[in-house]
Amino acid sequence: MNLLLFRPEETGRPLPARDPRARHLLAVLRRGAGGTFDAGLLNGPRGKGRIESISSDALTLSFRWESDVPSPDPITLIVGLARPQTARDILRDATTLGVAAIHFVATEKSEPSYAQSSLWREGEWERHLLAGAEQAFSTLVPQVTFDQSLETLLAQLPAAHTRIALDNYEAGRGLAGHPIPRDHPLALALGPERGWGACDRVALRGAGFTLTHLGRRVLRLETAAIAALTLTKAARGAL
């Protein structure tokens, strides 16, 4: 944890000693009463936290926030519903790299049972977003959905988005050579582990997506997500 993130409602009450952030402050950062640490308000400013007092069951904290509130890079990541372990990595790493939204969508070759994973049913997905943001030293956590079909999602995508999909099989050009406007919002779509189906491609092309590839080597989905975000971030001038 490079930065400890707090929800607004958490900043006015003691932090339970069993909370992972409390344990991190005491056991890893070895802070005592009066100690300060880097803190962030979820989707708000960064700042400094201070431990006012420590009791056996809670820490009393105070915060001073910076005036700057960051805004997310307007990138919407669309991913075919993937194996839970793959989805965990993508939630964390895409948040670290910085996106505005991540939508896991049902596609032709998605395995429907993946939607029943505890990752989605029990709210575990939020934990991976927080870990990704804390790693990046950022307060920004993307909007996430996991209950829509590809078609439904595409129908809602705002018109201004540049639209790029990754495809191992039918892409005519590499993503690295594809022009990406710097100042437009961007939608980047990756299929699930087994790739896009024919109807998915019809939907993507119909919605104005260009199919691009990442070279001749077949990457794991979570690796492809990092590589594609890296290239789009670089094209937008962030790296």
29 interacts with a second copy by CB under 8 A: no
Task: Report the distance separating Cα 129 and Cα 140, nearest Å.
Answer: 9
Candidates 20, 174, 181, 208; binder of a second copy (CB under 8 A) is 174
Report the residue number, 10 or 38, with the smaller CB distance to a second copy: 38
Taken as a whole, the chain contains a residue count of 239
- Interface residue with a second copy among 135, 148, 149, 210 (CB under 8 A) is 135
What amino acid is encoded at 202 in this protein? Answer: V
Question: Closest distance between a second copy and the C-beta of residue 84, in Å?
Answer: 18
Is residue 212 classed exposed, middle or buried when 0-12, 13-18 and 19+ CB atoms within 10 A define those classes? buried
CA dist 55 and 2 (Å) reads 24
Binding positions for a second copy, 49-108, rule CB under 8 A: 93, 96-98
At closest approach, how far in Å is the CB of 62 from a second copy? 25
Point out which residues bind a second copy (CB under 8 A).
2, 93, 96-98, 135-138, 174-176, 213-215, 217-220, 223, 226-227, 230-231, 233-234, 238-239
